[in-house]
Structure 1
Amino acid sequence: MNKVYASFGCNGHVVIDLQAEQRRRHRQLYMEALRTLKTKEDLFSYSINGVQIGDEIYESYLRTFSRPTAELDRFLCQYLIYVAIGYFVFFEDFFKQHNVLGAVLSHDIYIQMGILAKIAWKNEVPVYLANAHDLKRTLGPDQKWSEFSKYPEYFSQLDKGSQEAGIRWAEEQLSKRLGGAVGVNMPYSSKSAYISDFIDRQTAATEKKKIVIATHCFFDNPRAYGGMLFPDFYEWISFLGTLAEQTDYEWYIKTHRDFLPGTAKVIQDLVEKYPRIKLINPNTSWHQLKAEGVGYILTCYGSVGHELPLLGFKVINAGYNPHIAYEFNWHAKSIDMYRRMLLDLDGLGDIRELNKIYEFYFVHHRLSRLNQSSYFDSWGSMIAYATKNVRSDEIFETVMREGDGRLAQVIEAVDEFVASDYLSEAEMLIYKN
C-alpha cells in the first residue's frame, strides 16, 4: 500500500496520536459532553468551537451498530462520542500547526471523514470528494448538494438537440423502471416495486384518504442530503405515528422489497407502537396500491418522488431532496409546514410539472454523473465488476484491468476537472458548450 501511495507523490501517513496536553483536553471535553448531552437533539447538534460533530457521531452510531436511532445511555454511543472528540482535538491542532492546502476524501460523513471535512471548511481549506461515483471540490457543507437546486439551469444551458435526446433517454429508462425492470439506474436494487402481479388486497375498501409511508434504510446516513427535517428515519416515522392519531385517514407503511436485515424488526416495533399505521406486504406493487385507491406517499428524499407522480400519486418529501427545484411533488421546509401539509391534504392541489420529471431524471442520472462519461462506461458497468463493495479496491482493479487506455481516460478526466476550475460534470458540459 505504501508503494501505491508513493507512486503519486505521498510522503507518508498522518498518525492520530494525541500528546499529553491533547489527551488532557480530550478527557475534559468528553466528561463535559457526558454531563451535558441528555437528549438525541443535544447529541445531534453537539458542537466544539463552532464545529458541529454531533451529527457525525449520531450517524456513525446508526451505521456502525445497525441501530435505528441514537441511544445516549448505551456504552457504544458514549464510546463513539469519545472517539469523535479525539478526532476533533487532533485535527483541530493539525490545521493550526500545518499549512494545509486541501483535504482529499472519499466522502464527508461519519466520524473519520466528516469531522476532518468540517475542520477543513472552517479553516477555508477546500475538500475534494473523490470516489468511483463522483468528483467534487467543496468549500462548505452545503455545497455538495446545492446542485440539486440548479438542475433546471443545467438543463436550460444545453442545446435543443441534447435536451431532446436527454428527454427521450429518460422516458425510456423510466418506462422500463415502472414496467418492472430491475436495477434501471439503480444497480443496488435486486427487486422491482413495479411488478404487474397483484397479491391479496392490502388496504381497506373505503373512500377514506389513504397514505403510504415509503421507508428508507434506518441505518445508512439518514441525512444524506443535509436537510431532512428529522435526525433519523425512526424519529420521522414516530412523528407520523403520533400525527396519525389526529386524522381520519388510513395510514400504511411499506418497505422496499429487498429491505436490509434488521429493517423488518424495527418496522414491526413501530407498527406495534403506533397501531393506526398498518403494515403492507413488501411484495405489493405500487400499481396495485394505486388500484386500491392510495393517493398519497410520504418519503424523506426517495426515488418515489420522481417515479410515483407518473402513476398519479401525490408525493410529499420531509425536507431537502434531489427534486427540490421541481413541483411534481411537495417539499416541506419545516416540521410545522410538514404538519400543516399532512393535516390538509386537499390543500395540496393537483400534481404540477409532470413533464419535468424526465428533465430531472436526465440531469440527475446522466448529466450530473461524472462516471457516466469519464471513469466508466456507466455506474452499472462498474458495479458489474466490483461485486464485493463499491468502495473496495475492486474499483482500482477495474480501471487497471481495462488497460492503459482506460487509465489514460481517467487521468484526462481529472486533468479536465482541474483545468475547468473544478466544475462539476454537469457544469463542465455546459462550460464546453
Structure 2
Amino acid sequence: MARLERNVLLIVNAFKMNMFLNRIFVQLKKNYCLTAAQTKLREMLSKVVGKGDVSENSKIITIQCLEDYYFFSLFCALATTLKTQGNVSFEQYVVRSLNVGSSQSIANWLKSYLLSNRLTDKKWISLYSLFCNKIAFRATSPLGYISDIKLLFISVKIWRNLSSKSDVLKLSWQDVLLGDLIYDSYLRFKPAPTVHIRNFYMLTVIWQALRTFKSAKRYFSKTKPSAYFTSYTTYIQHGIPVRVALYLGIPVYSFSNFQTVAKRLKLDDTKQTASCNTYFSDFQSLDDKDSKLLAAEKQLQFRIDGGIDTATAYMAKSAYHANVHTIPNVTNAAVIFLHDFYDSPHIYSWSLFPDFYDWICFTIETLTKSKIPFFIKPHPNQIDLSSEVISQLQAQYPGLRWLPITATNKRLVDAGITCAITVYGTVAHEMAFLGIPVITCGDNPHISFDFCKNATTHEEYQAYLVSADKLQFDAHQMRAQSLMFYYMHNMHRDPSESLVMNVTQKLFKLSQTVESGEEDTSHLFDTIVGLMEMSEFKTLCSERFGRHLV
C-alpha cells in the first residue's frame, strides 16, 4: 500500500510539474513570439501602411515603441497619415526599463528577466517597424550594465545623500528635474505604497533614471528630431525622454489624456494631464452658457446613473454601477475616497503629500484624534496589491470603518454623508454635483473652482479635516460649478476633434479587448483604417503637426 501511495504521489507531482512547465512555455512563447492576433494584425496593416521613402532631407519624428495596442494603433494612424502630408520618417524609442516586482526575490528577478529583455523587445519592435524606419534609442544602453558603471557610482553617491522623501522629490540631473519620476517609479515597480529611501531598490531606480537620461540626451542632441510623440509622461521610462527633449528645445506631444487628442507639452508643463487652471474664467467668456450647462448635466447624470462616459473610459467599472450591497449607517459621516496606492501621485503639478499612503495615514490620524466620524471607501478600479495595503491599514488602525467597494457614491449621498475627502479624484466634481462638499490637498482638475476646499499646507488640510462635519457650501452654486467644470474638461473642444476622439475612444476599448485575449483583430484594424480615412483626422494632423514636416 505504501509503495502504491508513493507511486501515485510521484505521478501527481509529475503531472503538476508538467502543467507548470507548460504554463512557462506558453508564457515564454507569448513574450518572445508574435501571437496569432498580432500576426494577423501585422499582416492586415502591412497592406495599408508603409515606411515610405526616406531621404537626407526627410524630417524625423520620434515615437515610443510602447507595448500597448492602443498606442500602437494610434501611432500607426498618425505616422501613416503624416507620411502622406510631408517628407517624414519615424524612429522608435524602446521603453523597456524597470520590471514590476523584480526586486522582491532572486526568483522574481530571474522570472522578470526571462519574460522581459532585449530579445522580447523584438516582437513589438517588429510591429512598430511597419511604419518606423529605425530604432532611435533604448531606455537601456545596448551594452547593458557594463557601460554604465560610472553612472552606478554616481547613483550610489546620490542615494547615500538622501535623508528624506522630500530629498527624493527634489532630485535633478543636469538641470532636469527627475525626483517625482523616480519617486513614482519606485512605488509602481517595486511595488510599494510608500518610499523607503534606504531600500536598495531606490538605488536601482536612480541608476536606471540616469541611464535613460544618458541615452535620451545622446539621441536627442545628435539627431534633433522635428518632434517627439509620447504616450505618458509619468515614471522614468516615459517622463525622462520628455523632459530631456523639452530641455533641448524639441517639440513634445503627449497622447494619453481624454481631453484632447494630443497635448503640446512645455518646460513649465510636462504633465500629460490637461491644463485646468483657467477653466472657470474660460467658461465665463463663452456664449450660450445655459445650453452648455444643460448638455453637461445630461452627460454627468449619465455617469451618476452608472454609465461610463468619455472622461472615465479608463475605468473597468463605474463607481456608480448598480448593486444591491447593504451599506452601513453613514449619516453625518465623512467619507475618504481612496486612490489606487500604486498610481502616480505626482501626475499633476504639485501634491501636499509625497504619496497616497502618507496622505491616508495623516487623514486617518487627524480625523480620529478630532473624533470626526468617517468611513473609508476603496477605489473601484484598484489593482490587487492595493487590497494588501488596505489589510495593512486595518492592522495599523484597528476599528476603522470600511465601506464595501461596490457601494455606489450616489447611495452614500442619499444615506447622508457630510463630506468627501480625496487628493485629486474625479469624485470631487461628482460630489459637488450631488451637493456634498469636498476636501482636496493638491493640484487637481478642479483647481479653479470653489466647490473644493483645497489645502496647500498640512496645517490648512488639518483645519479642513477637523471641521469636515461643519463645512458650509451653497449646494446650488456647487452644482452649477461642477457642470461648468464638466463642460470645460470633457466637452469644450472643436467639433471635428470631438469626432476624432469618438474614434480614438473606440480604438481604446477595442485595444483593451485584444489585450485581454481576443484573437480577432479585424475590428481593431477596421477602426485604425477608419481613423486614417477620416477627413477630420487628416486635418487635425495637418494643423497640429504639419509645422514639424517643413
Provide the TM-score with structure 2 as the length reference. Answer: 0.66
Aligned equivalents of 1:235 and 1:389: distance in 2?
A: 37
Name 2:533's counterpart in structure 1: 405
Q: Max radius of gyration: which structure?
A: 2
Secondary structure of the residue that 1:319 maps to in structure 2? coil
Which of 170, 181, 184 pairs up with 2:307? Answer: 181
Alignment deviations for residues 385-421 of structure 1 (CA, whole Å, 9 cap, x no partner): 222479x999983543427533x43221111224799
Name 1:171's counterpart in structure 2: 297
- Aligned residues of 1:299 and 1:317 also touching (Cα < 8 A): yes
Shift of 1:271: 2.7
Shift of 1:344: 3.2
- Aligned residues of 2:423 and 2:442 also touching (Cα < 8 A): yes
- Aligned residues of 1:120 and 1:127 also touching (Cα < 8 A): yes
- Aligned residues of 1:18 and 1:90 also touching (Cα < 8 A): no
The 1:13/1:229 distance shift into structure 2, 3 A limit, reads same
Aligned equivalents of 1:122 and 1:324: distance in 2?
A: 27
Corresponding letter in the other structure for 1:60 = S
Corresponding letter in the other structure for 1:140 = L
Corresponding letter in the other structure for 1:138 = L
Corresponding letter in the other structure for 2:543 = E
Secondary structure of the residue that 1:253 maps to in structure 2? strand
Task: State how many pairs are aligned.
Answer: 415
Aligned equivalents of 1:72 and 1:151: distance in 2?
A: 38
Alignment deviations for residues 109-138 of structure 1 (CA, whole Å, 9 cap, x no partner): 211221122223333433222458531222
Shift of 1:47: 1.7
Aligned equivalents of 2:414 and 2:191: distance in 1?
A: 35
Aligned equivalents of 1:108 and 1:404: distance in 2?
A: 25
Name 1:72's counterpart in structure 2: 197
1:84 correspondence with 2:84: no
Aligned equivalents of 1:381 and 1:92: distance in 2?
A: 35
- Aligned residues of 2:507 and 2:524 also touching (Cα < 8 A): no
1:415 correspondence with 2:542: yes
- Aligned residues of 1:371 and 1:379 also touching (Cα < 8 A): no
Name 2:5's counterpart in structure 1: none
Mapping of residues 246-325 of structure 1, within 5 Å? 246-275=369-398, 277-325=400-448
Aligned equivalents of 2:526 and 2:194: distance in 1?
A: 37
1:56 correspondence with 2:184: no
Identity of aligned residues (%): 25
The 1:22/1:190 distance shift into structure 2, 3 A limit, reads closer
The 1:358/1:74 distance shift into structure 2, 3 A limit, reads same
Alignment deviations for residues 205-248 of structure 1 (CA, whole Å, 9 cap, x no partner): 7xxx5221101111122222222211221111121123234302
1:242 correspondence with 2:365: yes
1:216 correspondence with 2:323: no
- Aligned residues of 1:382 and 1:398 also touching (Cα < 8 A): no
Corresponding letter in the other structure for 1:106 = S
The 1:204/1:212 distance shift into structure 2, 3 A limit, reads closer
- Aligned residues of 2:182 and 2:236 also touching (Cα < 8 A): yes
- Aligned residues of 2:242 and 2:270 also touching (Cα < 8 A): no
The 1:195/1:187 distance shift into structure 2, 3 A limit, reads closer
Secondary structure of the residue that 1:213 maps to in structure 2? strand
For structure 2, which runs of at least 5 residues remain unmatched after alignment? 1-41, 53-82, 84-88, 91-132
Name 1:337's counterpart in structure 2: 460
Secondary structure of the residue that 1:269 maps to in structure 2? helix
The 1:184/1:115 distance shift into structure 2, 3 A limit, reads closer
Corresponding letter in the other structure for 2:358 = E
Aligned equivalents of 2:481 and 2:284: distance in 1?
A: 12
Aligned equivalents of 1:242 and 1:167: distance in 2?
A: 39
Name 2:171's counterpart in structure 1: 46
Aligned equivalents of 1:117 and 1:394: distance in 2?
A: 33
The 1:346/1:130 distance shift into structure 2, 3 A limit, reads closer
Corresponding letter in the other structure for 1:243 = T
Q: Please tell me the root mean square deviation across aligned C-alpha atoms, in Å.
A: 3.6
Secondary structure of the residue that 2:278 maps to in structure 1? helix
Name 2:19's counterpart in structure 1: none
- Aligned residues of 1:245 and 1:276 also touching (Cα < 8 A): no
The 1:95/1:400 distance shift into structure 2, 3 A limit, reads closer
Shift of 1:89: 2.8
Name 1:429's counterpart in structure 2: none
Shift of 1:86: 1.1
Secondary structure of the residue that 2:369 maps to in structure 1? coil
- Aligned residues of 1:306 and 1:357 also touching (Cα < 8 A): yes
Alignment deviations for residues 25-59 of structure 1 (CA, whole Å, 9 cap, x no partner): 41331121231124333222222233221221221
- Aligned residues of 1:62 and 1:69 also touching (Cα < 8 A): yes
Provide the TM-score with structure 1 as the length reference. Answer: 0.82
Name 1:15's counterpart in structure 2: 137
Alignment deviations for residues 238-275 of structure 1 (CA, whole Å, 9 cap, x no partner): 21123234302012210134432122221121132123
- Aligned residues of 1:45 and 1:54 also touching (Cα < 8 A): yes
Name 1:6's counterpart in structure 2: 51
Secondary structure of the residue that 1:330 maps to in structure 2? strand
Shift of 1:24: 5.4
Secondary structure of the residue that 1:323 maps to in structure 2? coil
Aligned equivalents of 1:241 and 1:130: distance in 2?
A: 36
Secondary structure of the residue that 2:254 maps to in structure 1? strand
The 1:395/1:84 distance shift into structure 2, 3 A limit, reads farther
Mapping of residues 326-365 of structure 1, within 5 Å? 326-345=449-468, 348-351=471-474, 352-365=477-490
Aligned equivalents of 1:5 and 1:218: distance in 2?
A: 42
1:375 correspondence with 2:492: no
Alignment deviations for residues 365-397 of structure 1 (CA, whole Å, 9 cap, x no partner): 12259995253425543334222479x999983
Aligned equivalents of 2:153 and 2:286: distance in 1?
A: 55
Shift of 1:185: 4.1
Aligned equivalents of 2:148 and 2:523: distance in 1?
A: 38
Secondary structure of the residue that 1:14 maps to in structure 2? strand
